[in-house]
Amino acid sequence: MRINDPKLLGPLAELGIELRPAAKLSELTSLGIGGTTDLLRITKHETIPELLQLLDANHIAHKFLGGGSNLLVDDGELPWVVLQLVPPEPDVVLEGNLAHVDAAADLGRTVTFCAKHDLGGMEGLIGVPGTVGGALRMNAGAYGMQIGTYVREVKLYRAATRKIETFRGHQISFEYRHTSFATDDMMLAVILELPSKPYNEILKGIRICNEKRRSSQPLGQKSAGCIFKNPPGASAGRMIDELGLKGLSFGDARVSDRHANFFVNTSHASAKDMLALIADVRERVQEAYGVMLENEVVVWNG
Ligand code: EPU
């Protein structure tokens, strides 16, 4: 979708929004898949309510992009614009055991920065690509920990009230790869309360997690991490592997040879290829195990 009406361009510039016309989502997502649309980059959180009012009044649909690391975007010209936060400088500020983090901050760098200041707890998240906001909305987790455990407060734009609001940690429910945030809420900032731990000890934990990840996941390839959530008490990766589906391909979309719940883009996969692969694997697992796998990856195809 293109924004070229001067009636809109003027107010956008006044709000300090940077417009990047015809951005390729394939360049903004770790899967390397996705069509084209205008990208609106937001520097000041306070401008968001007005920005969304402007878009709504002009019947322009929108989606919020975090780090693009858990996302499968449709091909072609997309029927909505994409909003993305620009991280401020600095994007993490420490105050005792509290880390004030902008949602646009890189998750891995945040974990490392806190570790260097003897704040631990998030070692498992070190190799998870994406932003802190994205991790928060999904309650990202790995190796026995999840980010929700450490959330003291979240600042977000709530689509339901059209306002920026602050939620305390206990007002939010954090479940396995799921939170009580609405899909159209936009994470803006978070205060994490992290346990004190000596840097050396945190580093040991980080190294162990990194090693486990390197040995079991296709890190150098274009992927969106795990495609399906694990069903209760089972492993989607193991089920897909047991069915002999590693290497199954539709075009350039392929079930990873290393971890069967990672689907990789080996070259120029389209969303159509990837969606066909997801549907086929889901059907085969359903037939063999009677379990309907639920997407972990977020799909933007409408
Ligand atoms: N397994 C296989 N074959 C495979 C993959 C896995 O047999 O191709 C077996 C493993 O040997 C192991 C079991 O399945 O016995 C579980 O595998 P793994 O330890 O890799 O964990 P997972 O359940 O597949 C989850 C998360 C990952 C996270 C790891 C480590 C989900 C959907 N996945 O994977 O998160 O990194 O644990 O904690 O919850 C993600 O969220 O995108 C993600 C990759």
Given the structure tokens 């010209």, which residue do they identify? Answer: 77
Q: How far is the CA of 143 from the centre of ligand 1 (A)?
A: 9
Confidence category of residue 302, pLDDT binned at 50, 70, 90: confident
Model confidence band, residue 167 (pLDDT cutoffs 50, 70, 90):
very high
Atom of ligand 1 nearest to the CA of 124: 38
Nearest CA to ligand 1 atom 9: 238
Cα–Cα distance for residue pair 276/8, rounded to 1 Å: 38
Using CB atoms within 10 Å of the CB of residue 16, give its burial: 0 to 12 exposed, 13 to 18 middle, 19+ buried.
middle
Question: In the prediction, which pLDDT does 279 show?
Answer: 98
**Which of 249, 241, 299 has the alpha carbon at shortest distance from 269?**
249
For the CA atoms of 86, 89, 92, 93, what is the dihedral angle to 10 degrees? -140
At 126 the pLDDT is: 93
C-alpha of residue 91 to centroid of ligand 1, in Å = 31
Work out the average pLDDT over 77-106.
98
Best CA proximity match to 248, nearest among 236, 235, 267, 261: 261
- Which residue's alpha carbon is nearest to atom 3 within ligand 1? 238
**Which helix (H) or strand (E) covers residue 135, if one does?**
helix 132-138
Q: Does the structure show a pLDDT above 90 at 139?
A: yes
pLDDT tens readout for residues 176-218: 999 999 999 999 999 999 999 999 999 999 999 999 999 999 9
Whole-number Å distance, alpha carbon 135 to ligand 1 midpoint, is: 17
- Of the candidates 35, 14, 13, the one whose C-alpha atom is nearest the C-alpha of residue 23 is 35
Ligand 1 centroid, distance to 235 Cα (angstroms)? 7
pLDDT of residue 48: 98
Instruction: Tell me the CA–centroid distance for residue 130 and ligand 1, in Å.
Output: 18
Answer for the pair 195, 115: CB distance below 8 angstroms, yes or no. Answer: no
Residue to mutate (ligand 1; options 126, 128, 235; most atoms within 8 A of CB): 235
Residues 6+ apart with CB under 8 A from 171: none
* Residues facing residue 295 across a β-bridge: 228
The torsion region of residue 144 among left (phi > 0), alpha (psi -120 to 50) and beta comes to: left
Quick one: which atom of ligand 1 is closest to the CA of 256?
8
Ligand 1 mutation target, pool 226, 229, 256, 285, most atoms within 8 A of CB: 226
Which protein residues are within 6 Å of ligand 1, measured from CB? 142-143, 216, 225-226, 229-230, 235-238, 241, 259-261, 296
CA distance 26 to 29: 6
What number of other Cβ atoms are within 10 A of residue 141's Cβ? 18
Q: Residues 5, 35: contact at Cβ < 8 Å?
A: no
Which atom of ligand 1 lies at the shortest distance from residue 296's CA? Answer: 32
pLDDT (0 to 100) of residue 68: 98
pLDDT at 246: 98
* pLDDT at residue number 197: 98
DSSP string for residues in 155-175: EEEETTTTEEEEEEGGGS-EE
Q: How far is the CA of 260 from the centre of ligand 1 (A)?
A: 9
Q: What is the DSSP string of 234-292?
A: S-HHHHHHHTT-TT-EETTEEE-SS-TTBEEE-SS--HHHHHHHHHHHHHHHHHHHS--
pLDDT in tens, 210-225: 999 999 999 999 999 9
Mean pLDDT estimate for the chain:
97
| Cβ(20)–Cβ(7) below 8 Å | no
- Distance from residue 29's CA to the centre of ligand 1 (Å): 21
